[in-house]
Amino acid sequence: MTDDRCEILRSLHVPGQPLLLPNAWDAASAQAVVAAGFPAVATTSSGVAASLGYEDHQGAPADEMLAAAARIARVVDVPVTVDAEAGYGLEPAELVAELQRVGAAGCNLEETDHEARALREPNEQAAWLRQVRNAATAAGYGLVVNARIDVFLSADPDVAQGELVADALVRGRAYLEAGADCIYPIALSDADALRAFVEGAGGPVNALALPKAPSVRELAAIGVARVSWGGLLHRRALEQLESALQQLS
């Protein structure tokens, strides 16, 4: 069943007709995503970690994050792609085995080294992603890998995003060559810079639906293949809860 869901998830990445992924943080929110008609579920590491009482960026134990992913995959009948952060320090084969065990059809893997608080070198990250792909292939597991590019996330806010596209493309192309199915320049929100990235990527691109980013319709016209909301919906749900609680007093 997992492999069927892998192929379904992979087939939904269509440039110009993007897969929309409102990110879930627990079983109930995942069920709400499916009930609303979305064909797949993505998790948000920040939302899952917060619901477990931890900080994002691998602040939560891997076994707890994976257990949460397993609960989500168990209660929905659509593919689930798991935000596996930077891999939790697991060896590639171990990470792949854990993702297969919990029923993940896909995963996000980011290039930030959270211990060093710095980006990995693209060649180093590409080699690691290649090991992940090789481990999945050896296991007969069609894991869909979304390789996150963190150049824009960690950039000086005074630097125009267009100036960072070349660096991001070097990284993205290397990750696609290493076996990633999609690349994710998180926090890239400038329409012209995003268009240049999509045109030069050579593979499917995931965009984050930031409030300042182009609309979903505009993202489709640019040619993105996947749109996700990250932790935005989790934060909005908490804001609504806080508002409701204030009205009780």
**Stated pTM of the model:** 0.97
* Tokens, residue 208: 């984050």
Measured CA to CA, the distance from residue 55 to residue 135 in angstroms comes to 29
Measured CA to CA, the distance from residue 25 to residue 69 in angstroms comes to 9
Angle at 26 between CA 23 and CA 30, to 5 degrees: 55
pLDDT in tens, the chain (249 residues): 578 999 999 999 999 999 999 999 999 999 999 999 999 999 999 999 999 999 999 999 999 999 999 999 999 999 999 999 999 999 999 999 999 999 999 999 999 999 998 999 999 999 999 999 999 999 999 999 999 999 999 889 889 999 999 999 999 999 999 999 999 999 999 999 999 999 999 999 999 999 999 999 999 999 999 999 999 999 999 999 999 999 998
The class (CATH top level) of 2-248 is alpha beta
Output Rg (C-alpha) for the chain, integer angstroms. 17
Domain limits, the chain: 2-248
